[in-house]
Amino acid sequence: MVTSVTLRPLTSALPLNARGVWASRQLIAGFMSTLGPPLRGTKVVQVRSGAVRGEWVAAPGVEFGDRAVYYIHGSGYVICSARTHRGLASRLSRATGLPVFLTDYRLAPEHPFPAAADDIEAGYRWLLERGFLASDLVVAGDSAGGHLALDLMIENVRTATPQPAACVMFSPLVDLSFRLSADQERVRPDPMITAQGARELVALYTAGHDAEHTRLTLKLPAGSNLPPILVQAGEVEMLSADARYLQQTVRAAGGSCDLEIWPGQMHVFQALSLLVPEANHAVARAAHFITTSLEQTATLTERRVS
């Protein structure tokens, strides 16, 4: 349990100007690399292909094949990068036996909405163009990466693009108004950031755009063709409210969404393997969901062919 760990006073003190954003990026990068470093021997292959930026991450012994995880990092569209999440990607690769394509989408405030959403969609299309079948891909993401993953799946519905075999979300952000977070905060303060602070951070991405824009509110029409979804969130984080809301929304639309609320855990605890004993266990559960979903999809495909 990590209820005693708090970054809240520090994150509240950093201004959201150029220097504050730079300091926040350095702080989180150091925090992630210290408490969730990549596995020793992890293979990293940089990707620069047109508008697509990112890196392939493969844990020791994992070979590149015809299946993969497409991972979308979080941190409010502003702070993190592929490099900060390399450690989490390496552990997810080891647990699944699959390479992970860790996208490095453009960040705000330098690149506001819809830059990140466009980059995520471009990365998924790039994987399909490289020969991956959608049924051999699983999309995963954390925090704002969860919002971007849900946006991608809604865009897939809109454009009749095949959906991935499954989707995994760690502490997903869904409600960009942060009203759900504010309500949860009244029950228990989040140890990492306030709802107001998170709202102001995300506003660097959404600034100047209608809050009701369809790619920001992410409405799910009834009967939407969605892959099975697994959501994990920490009990003490304010986005546990978003996680519950997401499950209700997906199920109301006719989709499948499993929800795990981990007792005593904070935001994206899965990334902090050296601090949180439960981190690897949570990743292992996510990996089981991923591999099972891929196997089920393959079985359904074989039945259709025969």
Active-site choice (121, 237, 240, 273): 237
Question: What is the C-alpha to C-alpha distance for residues 209 and 48, in angstroms, rounded to an integer?
Answer: 29
143 catalytic? Reply is yes
Active-site choice (81, 143, 171, 181): 143
24 catalytic? Reply is no
Active-site choice (171, 267, 273, 278): 267
267 catalytic? Reply is yes
- Active-site annotation, residues: 143, 237, 267
